[in-house]
Structure 1
Amino acid sequence: MILKKIAGTFCISFFTLFVQSQPSVALTPPMGWNSWNLFEEEVSDKLIRQIADALVVSGMANAGYQYIVIDDFWVGGRNANNELFPDLARFPNGMKALADYVHAKGLKLGIYSDAASLTCGGVTGSYNFEEHDATTFAKWGIDYLKYDYCNAPDDMVSAFTRYKKMGDALHKTNRAIVYSICEWGQREPWLWARAAGGNLWRTTWDMRDTWQSDKYDNGHNGILNTIEKQKGLEKYAGPGGFNDPDLLVTGLFGKGKSSSLNGRFNGCSLTEYRTQFAIWCMLASPLMVNLDVRNMDTAVKAILLNKELIAIDQDALGNQAAAMVDANGWLVYKKELSGDRFAICILNRSNATAAYSFNLETALKIYGQWTAREIFSNRQLRASKAVTGELAAHDCAIFMLSKAGTKK
C-alpha cells in the first residue's frame, strides 16, 4: 500500500513537468456567487436570473463578483446523443439562453458536475463523458466548472487521472473556462491540481455556518477549523491556480440546509463573518458568496464590498499569506503585495478580548521603517516598528504597510 502511494505520487510529480497551456483565466482568485449552501435543489432559471440582476443592482458586480455558479441538482439526464440536458421543469429555456442572459449583464455563468457517474446529489455525472460534457458546456457558453468528487475512488492517482481527463477536455474546447477542482483536500490536490488543468482546488471539507465545529474530521468545518488547515499551503498558490478553502458563509446567519446542516449550526456573529471574509482575502482565496444577494443585510453588504479587502485578495502578485505567529491564541498572517507593500492580519482566536503587540522585524520578518494603517478603524501607526492594539474575541485587524515616507 505504501509503495503504491509512493509510485502514484511520483507519477503525478512527473506529470507536473508537462502542465498544459491554459487560457488566461483565474490570474486572480475568482469572485462570484454559488447556489449550494442556501438553495441546493431549489436552483432554477428564474433564481439565477434574479441573482444576476441583484449582483448588478447591489454593486457586487462592479466590485468584482462576476461568476454565478449553478451547483448540484440542475441535470435532467442525457439525450440520445449522450449530451447532458437540464431539468426542464426548473430550466425550461435551456442553459444557452440562461448563459446569454447572464452574459448580457456583464457576468459569467458557472456549472457543476462530478468525476463519477453520479453527483453528490445523485444526478448524472461526467465520468467517461468528459469530452462530451466539456463540448456541451462550451457550446452553452459556460465560463466556470465546479467538478466534484463524490462516488469516486479514494486514491490519489485515480483522482488525478479523472480530474486531468476533464481538464484536458476543457482545454480542447478552446473556451476560457475556469476549472474548479472540488476534491475536499483528502488527496492533497495542491500537489497535482495544476497539472490536471485546475485553476483552484479545495483544501478542506465543506464549510459550515459556525465559528468552530467539534466534528471537524466528519466534514463539519467551521470557519476557524478551515483557517487552521490553510497553514503551509501558501507555496502552492499563485496566478492561475489558488487554494480554495470553500464558500463564504458570510451573511447566511444560519440559513441554508447544507451550511447549517438543517439547523444544527445557527450561524455566526457579524464579527466572525467579517473575520472570515478578511482572512479569505489574505489567503488569496476565491470569494464565492452564497447568501441571498437579493436581500442582503446592510452590515454584511459593507463587508462584502470592502474595496481594500477585495484589493488584497485580488492583488496581481497572487500571493497567499503565510502564518508568521501561531501561539497563545494569536494567529498573525503576512502577505506581500505589489507596490512594495505588505498586508498584516492579526486574529484573536481566544474567547476573550486581548491586547497585542507584534514586532515587525522579530515576529514578522519585515525590516526597515513602515507606516501602518489598520483598515477597519483607519488607525495610523507612523514609522512603526510594531503593530499594536486590542481585539475582541474572534475579531481580526488588517494593517496595510507602506515604506515610511512613501505616498499612499
Structure 2
Amino acid sequence: MRGLVAAASAVAALTAGLAAAPQASASPTATSGTALALTPPMGWNDWAHFQCGYTESTILANARALVSTGLAAKGYNTVTTDDCWMQSSRDANGNLQADPSRFPDGMAYVGQQLHALGLKFGIYEDAGTSTCGGYAGSWGHWQQDANLFASWGVDYLKLDGCNVPSVSGQTSVQTYQSAYQQMSQALRATGRPIVFSESAPAYFEGTADWDTVLGWVGQYGQLWREGYDVATYDSSKPNTSRWSSVLTNYGYNNPIHRYESPGNWNDPDFLIAGDGGLTADESRSQLSLWAEMGAPMILSDDVTQLSAASVADLGNSAVIAVDQDTLGHPGYVVSQNGTLDVLTRPLAGGDRAVAILNRSGSTVSASTTTSAVGFTGGSGCTFGVKDLWSGATSTTTGSLTASIPAHGTAMLRITPSAGCGGTVQQGQVTGIGGKCLDDSGSGTADGNPIIVYGCYGTANQQWTLPGDGTVRTLGKCLDVPGSATTAGTYVDLRTCDGSAGQQWAYQQSGNLVNPNSGDCLDVYGGGSANGTRLDIWPCGYNQDNQTWSLPQ
C-alpha cells in the first residue's frame, strides 16, 4: 500500500461476559482446509528498504543472507518480492509477465531457488486494475493469477488495494470485499496452501468504514495491513529518523487487538529494526512492541548489510517466542501516561509478557506491579522475571522495575509460582481521540460521574473485567442508574449489585453495549474534551464516540 484512499465493522459480539479469548481462524486457503498462519507470519520483504530498486539478484542475495545469518532458522523464512516485479501489460494469453530486466530467469526460478534454500516464496500483487507502481493488477484475473502463482510455487500472496475501480451499484466497501473474497476463493481453488495478506483495511483508515472492513478480512485471509506504511529507507539520507513512523504504526495497531486470533493477524507493516533511521534502542523497541502485539515480523532491511548486533537483536529467541506464542492472544495496554506505555500479553501456560515503552528522549526509571499486569497473586506467591533483552532473571513478590533508555522498551516475561492464583483482564479503556474512560476525581460515592479524560495511568483509569459482564474500577461498577433504558441517560459509578444496568457486552466492532437497553456506551454529543460525560445512546455506524478498546 503506497497511499490511502477511502474504507471497517458491524460484527458479532465477542462475548456477553467481556472475557472472550481470541477465536480460531475461519480462513483456510487450501481446498484441504489446512489452517494457515496460526502464529504471526515471519519473513522478509524488499519494499521498505529497496522500494523498486531491486533485481532478482537482490532478492536472492537477501534470501541467502537470511540463511547464513541464522535468521531464517529463527523464523524469518518467507521471502516476498513486492511491487514492480511485473510488466505493465499481460502476455497474449492474459498472463502476468515478470520484468525481464529485473528477473531474467523468471519468477518460477526465484521460487525454486528460495525453496532450495529451505525458504518460502512470497509475491506481491494488487486487487486493482494496476498496482500502486503502475504495473498489471489482478482485477478480473483472480483465478488466472492464483493458478499462475501456484504453478510458480508461491506460498504467500500480498494483495494491495490501489486502483480498485468503482462498480455501479456497489459501495467502495462492497467492491473491495468482493475483490478480496474472489482472490481468496481463487487461492483455495488452486489446492495449494497460500497465506493471504490483505491490504484492504489500509484504504479505509480514518473513515467510518474502517471497522467494517476489519470485520470481514479475517474471513478471507490470515493477515492484513490496516493503516499507514512504515517510513521507507532513503539511501541519500540514510540516518533520517524513522522512529515517529514506528510509533504511529504502533499507535493505530494496538487499540484494535480485538480483531486478532490464531490465523488472523493485524499487520502494522514491516520491521525496519537494524536499518538506517533507528537507533539500537529504537530497533529493540519495534521488535518488542510488534512481539507484544502479536504482529507479523516481516523484516525489510538489506540483510546482507546487517551488523552482528542487529542480527542478534532480530534473532532474539525469547522475543520471537512471545510473538509466536501459541495462545495467539495479543497484548493490550495496561496504562499510558504520556511518557510510559505499559502493555501485558497473556501467554500459553500462564506466563505474561510485559512491555514498557519509554516515549521520552531520556532514560526513565519505570515501575509497575504484577497485579497491574493481570496477576491476582496469593499467599506465598512469587514471580520469576526474565528480562528478554539482557537475559537477567530475578524473583519478585509483586514489584516490577526497569531503567529504560530513551525510546527504549523493557520487555519482561513473568512466570507465576504454584499457588499464585489466576489472572484478570484489567487496564485502561480507550476511546475517542485516544482519551481514557475515567472515574471523575477518583470518587467512589454512588453516582460519581464517568467521563473521558487524557490518559495518565492513574487508578481511576484502571478498569477490571472480572468475566461476569461488569466493568469495574476502584471496587465499583460502571452503571446505568436504575437500569434505565432511556437514550441519553448518563452512566456513573455505583456499588456492584448485579443489576441489568451493570451488564455490558463487548462487540468486535468496539461497541460496549448494555443489553438491558440495547444501547451503546457513548461519549455525550461526540465530544472528546476532558470531562465530557458518558451516556447510553442507540448504536450508530462505527461512531468514534461509541468505539472502545478494552483490556482483553
**TM bracket, shorter-chain basis:** 0.7 to 0.9
Correspondent of 1:168 among 180, 185, 201: 185
Distance change (3 Å), C-alpha of 1:9 and 1:405: closer
CA apart distance, 1:340: 1.6
Maintained 8 Å contact 2:275/2:306: no
Using the TM superposition, name which of 200-209 and 374-383 deviates more: 374-383
Match of 2:147 in 1: 135
**Aligned pair 1:403/2:416, yes or no?**
yes
CA gap of 1:56–1:350, structure 2 versus 1, over 3 A, is same
How far, CA to CA, are the matches of 1:389 and 1:277 in structure 2? 18
CA distance in 2, matches of 1:366, 1:238: 22
Confirm whether residue 180 of structure 1 aligns to residue 180 of structure 2: no
Residue 243 (1) aligns with residue 253 (2): no
Quick one: which amino acid aligns to residue 198 of structure 1?
G
* Aligned-partner residue type, residue 384 of structure 1: T
Equivalents in 1 of 2:69, 2:28: separation in Å?
36
1:106/1:51 Cα in 2 relative to 1: closer, same or farther (>3 Å)? same
Report the equivalent of 1:49: 60
Q: Which residue of 2 aligns with 1:94?
A: 106
Alignment of 1:2-401 (within 5 A): 21-22=28-29, 23-76=34-87, 77-152=89-164, 155-183=172-200, 184=202, 186=205, 187-188=210-211, 189-195=213-219, 197-208=220-231, 210-213=241-244, 222-253=245-276, 267-361=277-371, 363-368=372-377, 369=381, 370-401=383-414
Deviation at 1:36, TM superposition (A): 0.7
User: Does the CA-based 8 Å contact 1:382-1:404 persist in structure 2?
Assistant: no
Question: Is contact 2:294–2:324 with CA below 8 Å preserved after alignment?
Answer: yes
Which runs of structure 1 show a deviation greater than 6 angstroms over 4 or more consecutive aligned residues?
Answer: none
CA distance in 2, matches of 1:110, 1:65: 12
1:323-361 deviation digits (Å, cap 9, x = unpaired) = 111124111111111122111111111222222221221
Identity among equivalent positions (%) equals 33
One-letter amino acid of the structure 2 residue matched with residue 190 of structure 1: L
| 1:103 Cα deviation after fit | 0.4
What secondary structure sits across from 2:51 in the alignment?
A: helix
Q: Distance in 1 between matches of 2:197 and 2:78?
A: 12
Q: Secondary structure at the match of 2:401?
A: strand
User: What do you get for the CA RMSD once the two structures are aligned?
Assistant: 2.4
Task: Supply the distance in 2 between the matched residues of 1:299 and 1:178 (Cα, whole angstroms).
Answer: 31
Contact 2:28 2:36 in 1 (8 A): no
Shift of 1:24: 2.3
Does the CA-based 8 Å contact 1:247-1:290 persist in structure 2?
A: yes
Give the number of the structure whose alpha-carbon radius of gyration is greater: 2
Distance in 1, matches of 2:69 and 2:9, equals 46
Structure 2 vs 1, CA of residues 373 and 405 (structure 1 numbering), >3 Å: closer, same or farther?
Answer: farther
Distance in 1, Cα, partners of 2:181 & 2:28: 13
> Is the CA contact 1:248–1:290 (under 8 Å) kept in the aligned structure 2?
yes
- Count of paired positions: 375
| 1:202 maps to amino acid | R
> 3-state DSSP class of the match of 1:190?
helix
Higher helix share: 1
Instruction: Compute the displacement of 1:104 (Å).
Output: 0.8
Q: Distance in 1 between matches of 2:26 and 2:403?
A: 46
Gaps of 5+ in 2: 1-5, 14-22, 233-240, 420-552
Cα offset for 1:71? Answer: 0.2
Q: AA paired with 1:364? A: V
**Normalising to structure 1: TM-score of the pair?**
0.86
SS of the aligned residue for 2:40 comes to coil
**Does the CA contact (< 8 Å) of 1:43 and 1:70 recur in 2?**
no
Q: For the structure 1 residues 396 and 34, does the alpha-carbon distance in structure 2 shift closer, same or farther, using more than 3 Å as the test?
A: same
